[in-house]
């Protein structure tokens, strides 16, 4: 069994409450470091599991069992060149050369802030490209896809919750 590191961003519980940390601990988040930043609860997990998907799914269940709402799973799919370098264990200069086309063709285009000084890339696309170049292993591509799917499902759930709330207000 391996340990997997990731962060769950949550909300819905008061960090000043006397039982705040106990709720998470008792719900099975005893392998997470809990912090509160920018109005969000951050649970940094180091979770043992047979694979990444099981680790994240069980952590999400634990966070929800504590009474919190899951907002996102990180590491997020939008990445800067520096984050690409860190995740792929490459130098910033090497990644910059890939992005410019100086070290191989076909590096993915940025997907956000394309015209700014700090564009963002889709980690799934970049990981796939780097895997073809034998710079990251297939597990990294699978993890990237899984995190994106988790966040898409979380977003869908939030949208459904908002729709149901509006329908109840109208009725």
Quote the strand ranges of 30-159, DSSP E: 32-37, 40-49, 69-74, 78-79, 121-122
- H or E stretch at 149: helix 138-170
List Cβ neighbours of 78 (8 Å cut-off, separation of 6 or more). Answer: 111, 112, 120, 121, 122, 123
Tell whether the model's pLDDT for residue 89 goes beyond 90.
Answer: yes
Q: What's the pLDDT band for 115 if we cut at 50, 70, 90?
A: confident
SS3 60: helix
Cβ neighbours around 99 below 10 Å, total:
18
pLDDT averaged over the chain? 92
Identify the band that residue 161 occupies on the pLDDT scale cut at 50, 70 and 90: low
Per-domain residue ranges for the chain? 2-74, 77-171
The better pLDDT of the pair 70, 103 is held by 70
Q: At the topology level of CATH, where does 2-74 sit?
A: Alpha-Beta Plaits (3.30.70)
């Amino acid at each position: 069994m391996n340990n997997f590191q990731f962060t769950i961003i949550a909300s819905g519980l008061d960090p000043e409450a006397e039982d705040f940390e106990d709720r998470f601990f008792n719900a099975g988040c005893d392998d997470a470091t809990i912090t509160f930043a920018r109005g969000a609860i951050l649970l940094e997990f180091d979770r043992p599991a047979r694979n990444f998907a099981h680790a994240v799914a069980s952590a999400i269940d634990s966070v929800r069992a504590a009474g919190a709402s899951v907002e996102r799973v990180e590491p997020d799919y939008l990445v800067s060149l520096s984050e690409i370098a860190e995740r792929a264990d490459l130098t910033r200069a090497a990644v910059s050369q890939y992005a410019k086309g100086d070290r191989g063709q076909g590096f993915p285009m940025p997907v956000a802030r394309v015209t700014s000084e700090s564009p963002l890339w889709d980690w799934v696309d970049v990981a796939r490209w780097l895997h073809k170049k034998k710079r990251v292993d297939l597990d990294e591509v699978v993890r990237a896809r899984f995190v994106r799917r988790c966040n898409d499902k979380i977003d869908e759930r939030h949208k459904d919750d908002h729709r149901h709330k509006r329908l109840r207000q109208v009725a």
